[in-house]
Structure 1
Amino acid sequence: MIEKTTDLATCRAIRHEVFVIEQAVPEAEEWDGRDGDAIHLLARDATGAAVGTARILIEGATGKIGRVAVLKSARGTGAGAALIRAALDELRALSGVTRAKLGAQTHAIGFYEKLGFAAYGPEYDDVGIPHRDMAQDLG
């Protein structure tokens, strides 16, 4: 189940586990001060436990999906795909938003392609992890 949430403490705890602990992203990089401007989504498993999160920032006609994190124990369950589909639904419901974009860790490009995103531009380093930008039209 995916829900829109204001429970930033739970979202941040998941991000801390995945990004800061598991992927060694520096805390100063993870906490960029933009959480207050974002729409936050939370994935819950069948027991109601929070297992994943994503945030959405609006930049003009583009919705930027980011900070997509699923706890290791819930990977492969469909929680990540459900988060992305819910984020796309949120963006489609916003007037004037016509495009979704994200910065994908290169190992996850195939995952996002299955959800309708196309990679563009060169590979780049983001906190020591290779990424590529991806986007899809919301029409």
Structure 2
Amino acid sequence: MSGAETVQVVLGSWDELAERAAPIRFRVFVDEQGVPMEMELDEFDPLSCHALALLGEHVVGTGRLLPDGHIGRMAVDAEWRGQGVGAALLGALIDEAGRRHVSVLALSAQTHALGFYTRFGFVPVGSEYEEAGLPHQAMERRLVAD
């Protein structure tokens, strides 16, 4: 990212953000990683708080926070990885969880991303497992009450 480009994260409902969030999820999970299309959109989307990472009006990442404190569907377009987009998304979702008084955040990390989540205070829980044909690790982070 150049100095002139700043990632903005907007939060909203699935009704508000689906049209812009779904395409990036399909690009990353279905097209790039081979997740079956029927698994990508689910019954939790309408219940979740969604985040979009924007550079101007261009969507470069997305993620969601479920009502039970699970963070998921973190996806960043390939050309923007390693440039702070995922950090901006995760930070916004953690902040939102705090506003919602979530005490424990949980996520299912693809194992290649363990270091990323560890930097945000998430710790592995249990053993590695397979989800949608990809190796994953459950992780949790306790939030400190204000």
Instruction: Tell me which interval the TM-score lies in, with the shorter structure as reference length.
Output: over 0.9
Q: Which residue of 1 aligns with 2:4?
A: none
The equivalent position to 1:118 in structure 2, one of 118, 123, 126, is: 123
5+ residue gaps, structure 2: 1-7
User: In the TM superposition, what is the alpha-carbon distance from 1:109 to its structure 2 partner?
Assistant: 0.2
The equivalent position to 1:10 in structure 2, one of 10, 16, 20, is: 20
Q: Over aligned residue pairs, what C-alpha RMSD do you find?
A: 0.9
Percent identity between matched residues is: 42
Secondary structure at 2:113's aligned position in 1? helix
5+ residue gaps, structure 1: none
User: In the TM superposition, what is the alpha-carbon distance from 1:42 to its structure 2 partner?
Assistant: 0.3
Secondary structure at 1:122's aligned position in 2? coil
Secondary structure at 2:67's aligned position in 1? strand
In structure 2, C-alpha distance between the alignment counterparts of 1:44 and 1:31, rounded to whole Å:
21
> How many corresponding residue pairs?
134
Secondary structure at 1:115's aligned position in 2? coil
Structure 1 position 72 matched with structure 2 position 81: no
**Cα deviations across residues 49-84 of structure 1 (Å, max 9, x unaligned)?**
11000011012xxx1000000001111110001101
User: In the TM superposition, what is the alpha-carbon distance from 1:48 to its structure 2 partner?
Assistant: 2.9
TM (normalized to structure 2)?
A: 0.89
In structure 2, C-alpha distance between the alignment counterparts of 1:86 and 1:135, rounded to whole Å:
17
The equivalent position to 2:105 in structure 1, one of 89, 100, 109, is: 100
In structure 2, C-alpha distance between the alignment counterparts of 1:33 and 1:9, rounded to whole Å:
16
Structure with the larger strand share: 1
In structure 2, C-alpha distance between the alignment counterparts of 1:108 and 1:86, rounded to whole Å:
18
Structure 1 position 23 matched with structure 2 position 46: no
In structure 2, C-alpha distance between the alignment counterparts of 1:15 and 1:83, rounded to whole Å:
14
Q: Which residue of 2 aligns with 1:49?
A: 58
**Cα deviations across residues 91-128 of structure 1 (Å, max 9, x unaligned)?**
00013x10111000000000100111111101000010
User: In the TM superposition, what is the alpha-carbon distance from 1:33 to its structure 2 partner?
Assistant: 2.1
